[in-house]
Structure 1
C-alpha cells in the first residue's frame, strides 16, 4: 500500500492532560512513521480521517463523512457509573446524537481491552470494528531526576518526608478521592493530590453528593494540593513519594499508574476496570468499593521490607517498558491499513 494520507482531528474541546496528551503524542509518533503523511484539513488528498477525541455529551463528530473515518473513544465512564454522572434531559439528547454519529464510522479505537468490551456491550459495535491501542507515558518518566532538582522541588512545594501521591486531572467522582482521603486520614499519612482533582466550588449544575464530598476534602489538614504541575515536577513527586495510589472506581486506561511504574514509585492500585492491564502480577491492589480493603492495602505497602519494595518497583519498571508511543502509532496505522483494505 502507498503512503497513507491522514487527517487528524483532535477537536477544540480536547485540551488537557489526558485526551490532549494523547492527541499530541500520537501525532508526533505518527509523523515519525514513513508510511503516514499528515495532511492539512484543507487538503483534498486524504485517504482517511481520524478523530482523536470523542465526547459522549458534546457534538464532536459530524454525521456526514466524506472519507473513511476512525474515531478514538477513550472510555465510557459516565455510562458505567451513571449514578455518579447524571445526564439530565440535555445530556440524554446529546448522547443519542453522538451515538447516531458513530453509525457510519469505519473503525473505533480505544485504550484498553476493558474499554473495548464496554463499547461492544453498551454501543453494540461489531467486535471486528473495535481496536485496542494502549497509551504510553511521556519519555521524561523514564529518566532519573538529579538529587539537586528533586531537593529544590521538595522545598518549593514544602513536601513532607513521607506521603502518598495521587494524580487526578479534574474533580471527577470516578477518581474516588474521598475514599483515599479518609483512608490516609485514618492512617495519619499525608496525601498529595496533583492536578485539578480537588475543587473549592461545584461546577455549574453539578450538585450531587460525590462532588460535594470533594469540596469537603478542602478542610482536611493532611491533604496537600499543589494543583497542576509540570512533568519535571511530577517526576520529582514520584521520586519523593512513599507510594503512588490509584483509588479509582473506574478508568479507561490509567496513565498515572504507568508514569509511577516508569518512575520507580511503589504502586498501590484499585483492582477494577482497565488498571489490571497495566500493572504487573504481584502489585498491591484493593477493592475500591471497600474502605477496609483500601486501608489494608496501604498498610501492607508501608510494612514492606526494602527488599520487597525493590522487587515490586523493579518488576513494574520492566512491565512499563512494554508501552511506547511508537507501538501505539504502529497499532493505529494497522487500523488505518485494515480500514483502507476493505
Structure 2
C-alpha cells in the first residue's frame, strides 16, 4: 500500500494538526504493509529519508505567547497568521501539487488529507476532519475563513471515499451538519505521545527555577490564544479566587498568539505585574513536558473542541485536570477530570478552588487521569487508520 499526504500542516510553528500528521507519518513509515509514503509541501516532494527529516524537524517559531500592549507582529508573522489569506494559500498549495497528485493517482497511491480540505484527486481519498467550530461558532473565526471552509468542506465530503473524525462528537456533527452518510465517517481517537509522563521534581527543577515556579504550585493552561479556548473566562475565574490562593498558585499561560487576543492581553496585564499570571514566551517541547508534569492543576475550559488532546497530555503527565462539560471533552476526559460549564465564570472559579484546596480530590483526579490517558495510543490510531485505507483500496 502506498500513501500520499499534503505536508503543509508540518510547517512551523507545529500545531495540533501538525503533530497529528507527524505521528501518523512516523507510525506509517515503520509498517511493513506500507510500501511507500510521499507528500508535498509547496512545490517540493518529500519521501524516504528526506520525509523523515521533515517530520523530525520541529524548529521553534520564536513567537511570543502573549505580551500585553506588545510590539506589533512583523509583516511576515502577520501574513503567516492571517486567516484571510487561507484561500490564497490553498490555491497555491494545490497548483504547486498538481503534478505529484496526478502522478501518484496513476501509481495507485491512497491520498490522506489530514487538514480538513482535500485537494482534487483521481484515486482513493481519505480526509480527517478535526472539528466543525466554524459552523457551531463562526464568531470565533474570521468571516473569510468561515466562507473558505463553508466552500471547501462540502467539496471535500463529495470527493473523499471515507472521512475520519477525531471523536464520536465530531462524527455526529459531520453527519448532522453535512448530511454525510454515517457509514462513510469513522471515529478514530488521537493518541498521547509517550513523552508525556510523570516526572520527578529533580527532573523539572531547572525549568521551574528559570520561571520562578514551584513544583505543584501553579495552574497551567496550554493552547492557542483565541476566544474558543475560553481563556478570558479562565482569567476572570482565576481573578475571583482569594488573593492568597492566586499568589500561592499563579496561572501560567502558554500558547501561540491566535485570533482576537487584545481583551485577554489587557485583562491579564495587572496580574502579570502582580506576579499572579506568568506568560513565559516560547518554550521548547522538552520544557513544556516538565511544566505539564509539575503543575498543580491543568485548566482547559474550552468552549468547543473536536477532541482536546492537551487534556490527555496533562493526565498522562500525572496532573489533575479541569475541563469543560461541553463538546467532545467529556468523551476524552472520561470522568477523570473536574468538568465545568465553560460559559459560567463562577463554575470555572469553583472548579479551580476545589482542585487547589482539596488535595484528596487532586490525587483522585491524577489516578483516574493516568488510567484514562493510557487508553489513547498513537499505535492504535495508526492501526485503525490503516484499516480505513484498506477498506477503500
Contact 2:218/2:251 (8 A) holds in 1: yes
Q: Does 1:6 align with 2:56?
A: no
Closer/same/farther in 2, CA of residues 158 and 271 from structure 1, 3 Å limit = same
Matches within 5 A, 1:1-342: 4-11=1-8, 15=12, 16-41=14-39, 42=100, 43=104, 44-54=106-116, 60-63=117-120, 65-88=121-144, 91-92=146-147, 95-142=150-197, 144-160=198-214, 162-168=217-223, 170-187=224-241, 188=243, 189=246, 190-197=250-257, 211-219=261-269, 220-221=271-272, 222-281=276-335, 283-306=337-360, 308-340=361-393
Q: Which runs of 5+ in 2 are unaligned?
A: 40-99
Contact 2:138/2:146 (8 A) holds in 1: no
How big is each residue's C-alpha offset from its partner over 1:259-299, in whole Å with a ceiling of 9 and x where there is no partner? 11000001111111111111132531100011111111111
Q: Which runs of 5+ in 1 are unaligned?
A: 55-59, 204-209
Range with greater deviation from structure 2 (221-230 or 313-322): 221-230
Contact 2:10/2:21 (8 A) holds in 1: no
Closer/same/farther in 2, CA of residues 128 and 242 from structure 1, 3 Å limit = same
Closer/same/farther in 2, CA of residues 97 and 313 from structure 1, 3 Å limit = closer
Closer/same/farther in 2, CA of residues 14 and 133 from structure 1, 3 Å limit = farther
Q: Tell me how far apart the structure 2 counterparts of residues 297 and 94 of structure 1 sit (CA, whole Å).
A: 35
Q: Tell me how far apart the structure 2 counterparts of residues 323 and 94 of structure 1 sit (CA, whole Å).
A: 29
Counting matched residue pairs gives: 317
Q: Tell me how far apart the structure 2 counterparts of residues 14 and 115 of structure 1 sit (CA, whole Å).
A: 25
Closer/same/farther in 2, CA of residues 157 and 46 from structure 1, 3 Å limit = farther
Residue 6 of structure 1, CA deviation:
1.5
Range with greater deviation from structure 2 (20-29 or 73-82): 73-82
Range with greater deviation from structure 2 (19-28 or 310-319): 310-319
Q: Tell me how far apart the structure 2 counterparts of residues 31 and 92 of structure 1 sit (CA, whole Å).
A: 36
Q: Tell me how far apart the structure 1 counterparts of residues 203 and 10 of structure 2 sit (CA, whole Å).
A: 34
Residue 302 of structure 1, CA deviation:
1.9
Residue 79 of structure 1, CA deviation:
1.5
TM-score of the aligned structures, taking structure 2 as reference length? 0.75
The residue matched to 2:196 in structure 1 has which SS? helix
Residue 47 of structure 1, CA deviation:
3.7
Contact 1:11/1:51 (8 A) holds in 2: no
**Aligned Cα RMSD in Å?**
2.1
Closer/same/farther in 2, CA of residues 22 and 11 from structure 1, 3 Å limit = same
* Structure (1/2) with the larger helix percentage: 2
The residue matched to 1:165 in structure 2 has which SS? strand
Runs of 4+ in 1 over 6 A off after TM superposition: none
TM-score of the aligned structures, taking structure 1 as reference length? 0.86
Q: Tell me how far apart the structure 1 counterparts of residues 341 and 161 of structure 2 sit (CA, whole Å).
A: 37
Residue 32 of structure 1, CA deviation:
2.1
Closer/same/farther in 2, CA of residues 247 and 327 from structure 1, 3 Å limit = same
